[in-house]
Chains A and B, each alone.
Chain A
């Protein structure tokens, strides 16, 4: 390669390097927002897959499914069919049961005659944090009179699952009250928990 050709190549490289399209968004995005996106994408991917495979998963018995009513009463469901609302839940979060099983907890099917209460409840669920183990433990003590550690091992996962929905219901009540609504008007809602790695 002759020297003038090498100069031209360097000059062209310089032009191309400097022509990089601006990327202000990636410069301004915080690490926390990107990390949150990674985790949210995991749930969205799981939800997409479940909406296609939910029925097969439930029937094949590799997933534990509980339907939890708004009152916090949980019931194991046999011959579980994935509810249609689970394709567009109002909240999706990941919880870890005392046994170590990783679960996805979807909330949806909100029902209330008052549209303002519905809006407030949806807003709550859209940003509600995952209940902490301490919150769930306190709820379990309030209902069963013993901590999770004192609970027979075979009942821990089920109590924990019920405790999560109980904490969510309590938090929703408090949130509605803060917004000037009567907590007794809490919308009906349902939750579905699917887990792997448990036989309860």
Chain B
């Protein structure tokens, strides 16, 4: 193995190690806990297959991996799923998940987000659930920052309209 390839593989290993939990959380919030191990497995495998393209800058490498995860989510939405041994091992390492006692909390807000155009909903989730800045989102979605900003403001306007009464109550 060449020194260049070894360095690249080490870079990707480090990047995945540092971001795996965030990737899993991102995926879990979009495809659910049952399918998240498969989605993480697909994301990691796709990252390794594209290892030649992993950016050298750690922040860019992180956004590159979230871009892959986003594509995995889109494929998942289209019903393209596969069960892998890797995902089974991840499931087994956790065992039975605790029941979610907060399932009813924020259901109407979740519903409102889900009813948004999927491109708008992704920006809302990325900002408010994953803590990404609009600049980071534009990186992993591969879109101009102005497009992401415009989507975010449009989504907020639509949500404010739908959730108006709740917003007033909080005030």
* Interface set of A (CB-CB < 8 Å, partner B): 7-9, 11-26, 28-42, 44-46, 48-49, 101-102, 196-197
Considering only CB atoms, which chain B residue lies closest to A35 in the complex? B17
Considering only CB atoms, which chain A residue lies closest to B170 in the complex? A11
Pick the contact of A41: B45, B94, B98, B128 (CB < 8 A): B45
4 pairs of A and B residues whose beta carbons are closest in the complex: A41-B44, A45-B48, A33-B93, A19-B109
- Between A25, A28, A40, the greatest number of chain B beta carbons within 10 A of the residue's beta carbon is seen for A25
Chain B 124-155 interface mask (CB, 8 Å, partner A; 1/0): 10011100000000000000000000000000
Pick the contact of A38: B2, B44, B84, B103 (CB < 8 A): B44
Q: Is the CB of A37 within 8 A of B33?
A: no
Q: Is the CB of B29 within 8 A of A46?
A: no
Q: How far is the CB of B167 from chain A (nearest CB, A)?
A: 5
Q: How far is the CB of A110 from chain B (nearest CB, A)?
A: 16
Pick the contact of A48: B44, B45, B124 (CB < 8 A): B45
The dominant DSSP class at the B interface is helix
* A16-B159, A23-B28, A29-B93 known; A38 vs B170 contact (CB < 8 Å): no
Pick the contact of A101: B1, B25, B28, B113 (CB < 8 A): B1
Considering only CB atoms, which chain B residue lies closest to A42 in the complex? B48
In whole angstroms, what is the CA distance A37 to B43 when docked? 11
Contact-residue size bin, chain B (C-beta under 8 Å from the other chain): 35 or more
In whole angstroms, what is the CA distance A19 to B129 when docked? 8
Q: Which residues of B contact A26 (CB under 8 A)?
A: 21-22, 24-25, 28, 36
B61 in contact (CB, < 8 A): no
Q: Is the CB of A37 within 8 A of B129?
A: no
B54 in contact (CB, < 8 A): no
Considering only CB atoms, which chain A residue lies closest to B97 in the complex? A24
Q: Is the CB of A40 within 8 A of B89?
A: yes
B163 in contact (CB, < 8 A): yes
Q: How far is the CB of B98 from chain A (nearest CB, A)?
A: 6
Residues of chain B in range 96-116 having any CB-CB distance to chain A below 8 Å: 97-98, 100, 102-103, 105-106, 109-110, 113
Q: Is the CB of A12 within 8 A of B156?
A: yes
Q: Which residues of A contact B94 (CB under 8 A)?
A: 25, 28-29, 33
